[in-house]
Structure 1
């Protein structure tokens, strides 16, 4: 059971946002459910993602670095898979903020890409394998 049960995100256009997330989340094993004005994504054992219509229409997009959403990072099993998912996201209309590359300032093993959608929502695909244990 995940520690965080669900993450709710307010967006300008729920259907458009869900469509933009769909190729990425489907590749990650999530299943989409449309429920009236909201769309939610589930995957067994993972945090549920829910998109809600913004109450304050015209208040976006969110600006990275301001109070609020920073980004959502998906832990990916390999560098090659980070590269592949980055391509899936770009093909779905996400804008690359940072193309896949190593981030040694985080850890010597950290490899990631960052993308943003029209709401200012950022996602990250990251691979950070555990440090090898030496006896």
Structure 2
């Protein structure tokens, strides 16, 4: 019987690893906005990175960038050993679930990229695993290097090549990324639907576009910083109390005083209550113009005029 995935070229090269790990990531600054991806192939036995690649793809969504990274990673693996068993690790729940066949692919651009990914290697030899972003640092670094390079109008170069080019610093150095900067914030909620209606609505108004969604969660923002709203069986059946020790509230730059006033007025229709109404808008002090809001679950946010 004819097998569309069999090829005269699918012979394992001498000394090539029979198993390979692909790690891929993609990002978009603006979603859609300046986008890029990063991909690498790792030897599962030694953990050594065998090859890596990154590319700027112009203006695109975060999900398109993620899929582009996947395609590139599979192509890199095919170049090393077209007959290898490949295990893909990504922090995009959407891509992993769709490529594993558990979620439908509704977006036309992603259907095209998913079909392209399935043609690179025999899908029967490719498995997928979702990993947290903190375990995908190498691919994340590559995708950010690609976006940095594209926004600077230069081509991405691997770190080793960039370091040996006389007089030219590595592209990644063009945009410093301090180690202490916040990466993401995760908010657990007992009612994800209600949290999306209140906190999700507010995040989008503050410039955090919806990124990805999965069974028990949704994220807003970009690869530079994002906020996760998550529910599920691990969330304790207890009310949030902001006055207990721990994080009290989140404060966001909300634009001008007029912007703060407008958001505060509209927030009431989306599950928010104005706190400290008697002292609004100077509850934080005579020089601090802000609105303090609380939703039905007790989460507090502060909208600061800047």
- Is the pair's TM-score, using the shorter chain for normalization, greater than 0.5? yes
Does 2:267 match 1:102?
Answer: no
Aligned residues: 124
1:73 and 1:124 in contact (8 A); partners too: yes
User: If you compute each CA radius of gyration, which structure gives the higher value, 1 or 2?
Assistant: 2
Normalised to the residue count of structure 1, the TM-score between the two structures is 0.79
Matches within 5 A, 1:50-129: 50-53=228-231, 55-60=234-239, 62-99=240-277, 100-103=280-283, 105=285, 108-127=286-305, 129=306
Contact 1:29 1:43 in 2 (8 A): no
Give, in whole Å, the separation in 2 of the partners of 1:95 and 1:125: 13
**Structure 2 length-normalised TM:** 0.37
Aligned-residue CA RMSD (Å)? 2.2
Distance in 2 (CA, whole Å) between partners of 1:26 and 1:9 is 15
Deviation of 1:44 (Å): 6.3
Instruction: Check if 1:10 corresponds to 2:188.
Output: yes
Report which structure shows greater RCO (CA 8 Å, sep ≥6): 1
SS of residue in 2 equivalent to 1:51: strand
The Cα shift of 1:21 comes to 1.9
Tell me, yes or no, if the aligned pair for 2:281 and 2:289 is still in contact at 8 Å: yes
Q: 2:276 is paired with a residue of what secondary structure?
A: strand
Verify the 8 A CA contact 2:271 2:296 in the aligned structure 1: no
CA distance in 2, matches of 1:73, 1:104: 12
Query: What residue ranges of structure 1 are gaps of 5+ in the alignment?
Result: 130-135
Contact 2:206 2:254 in 1 (8 A): no
How big is the shift at 1:89?
Answer: 1.4
| CA positional deviation for 1:53 | 1.3
* Higher helix proportion: 2
Secondary structure of 1:77's aligned partner: coil
Change (3 A) 1:22 1:10: closer
Q: Kindly tell me: are residues 109 and 43 of structure 1, through their superposed partners in 2, closer, same or farther at Cα, counting changes over 3 Å? A: farther
Shift of 1:104: 6.7
Between the aligned partners of 1:70 and 1:112, the Cα distance in structure 2 is 16
Corresponding residue of 2:217: 38
Is the Cα–Cα contact under 8 Å of residues 284 and 290 in structure 2 kept in the other structure?
A: no
1:28 and 1:101 map into 2 onto residues whose CA distance is 18
Deviations 1:4-56 (A, max 9, x none): 010011111112201212332222122223222111111464x2100121624
Question: Partners of 2:303 and 2:192 in 1: how far apart?
Answer: 22
Write 1 or 2 for the structure with the bigger share of strand. Answer: 1
